[in-house]
Amino acid sequence: MRTLILSACALLLIRTLSTGQANEQSSAADSLLRGGQLSDAIPLYHSILDQEPDNRGAAYNLACSYALLNMRDSAFFFLDIGLVQDTSVRALRDPDLFLLLEDERWEEVINRQVEKVEAKYGKYPKLELAKELWRIGMADQAYYYHMDVAEKQLGPRNPLTTALWQLKEDINAENEQRLEEIIAEHGWPKMSEVKGSAAQAAFLVIQHADLEMQKKYIPLLKEACEAGEADWSGYALMYDRIEMREGRPQLYGSQVRYNNETSQYEPYTIKDPEYVNKRRKEVGLGPIEEYLGHWDIKWEVEQK
């Protein structure tokens, strides 16, 4: 009996050490993935899966790594593993997987995930519209990863980044045209019809559009917010961007600019800054101190 107890303790220790090692590897692999070092991240994710074959997070991130390299067979193989217990649509709006969209297997991924989500949360009243909006949202966020990697490795004015920006402009133009057609037919995408993640795609596209398009659609976004069909925080971001573009102070402190004289980031001018947190809270945004901290900006205006 004593031998069995010692063996069980030893086995528990081995498992604990193995889990700890896998966690460290996972953290390192995630950092490499986000840092653009895919050739180093991929072997680490494989090592994690060797130790923990059911590690869905590692499998999903491995799928993202392969997708970013446009290695589709490997990406779909590990995506299937990563999504086994997933009952969300995160993969259907993840820009890391954008290069998989033209593959016929992508439709299978969509159908499987939607089936699981609908079984748990209910049907999508406008499923085909939701699918198109997911695609638009992914396209809107696509290639930023590649541009960031190119700038880190080749410098900010390298020809690869320039070419990718041109591609992004073409994608944005296509998205804007299609979104205008969708809004003309369906109105502003409603959360009750396509759910929140799909509805957000409309906001993403218009956030990148020119001033006239933003001014054209912000009243519809406000109406949707008032009806509980859109996110007030998105309205606040778009409102601030319009105010900034037209030379007026912003209300919610969402717009940040780089000051060449001080070589530091700073918030664009805010109207009545002592009340900014009150206004942010009203639209579901966190304290401005936390938000500006992402740019290492210290906010010292006393709030009322």
Tell me, what's the pLDDT at 17? 46
Q: Which long-range contacts (CB under 8 A, 24 or more apart) does 7-13 make?
A: none
Q: What is the pTM of this model?
A: 0.85
**Dihedral Cα 183, 187, 191, 194, nearest 10 deg:** -60
Tell me, what's the pLDDT at 13? 52
- Residue 249 bridge partners (DSSP): none
Tell me, what's the pLDDT at 14? 46
Residue type at 275 in one-letter notation:
Y
Q: What is the pLDDT of residues 205-217, one digit of tens each?
A: 999 899 999 999 9
Tell me, what's the pLDDT at 15? 47
The angle subtended at Cα 46 by Cα 44 and Cα 47, nearest 5°, is 65
Query: Low-confidence residues of the chain, pLDDT below 70?
Result: 1-22
Number of neighbours of residue 33 by Cβ within 10 angstroms: 22
C-alpha 60/C-alpha 100 separation (Å) is 14
Yes or no: say if 93 and 197 are a contact pair by the CB < 8 Å rule: yes
Six-digit token string for 191: 């959360």
Tell me, what's the pLDDT at 9? 54
C-alpha 36/C-alpha 20 separation (Å) is 25
Write down the domain spans for the chain. 16-121, 124-230, 248-304
Tell me, what's the pLDDT at 2? 43
Going 60 to 64 to 65 to 69, the CA torsion angle's sign is: positive
The angle subtended at Cα 104 by Cα 101 and Cα 106, nearest 5°, is 45
State the CATH architecture for 16-121: Alpha Horseshoe (1.25)
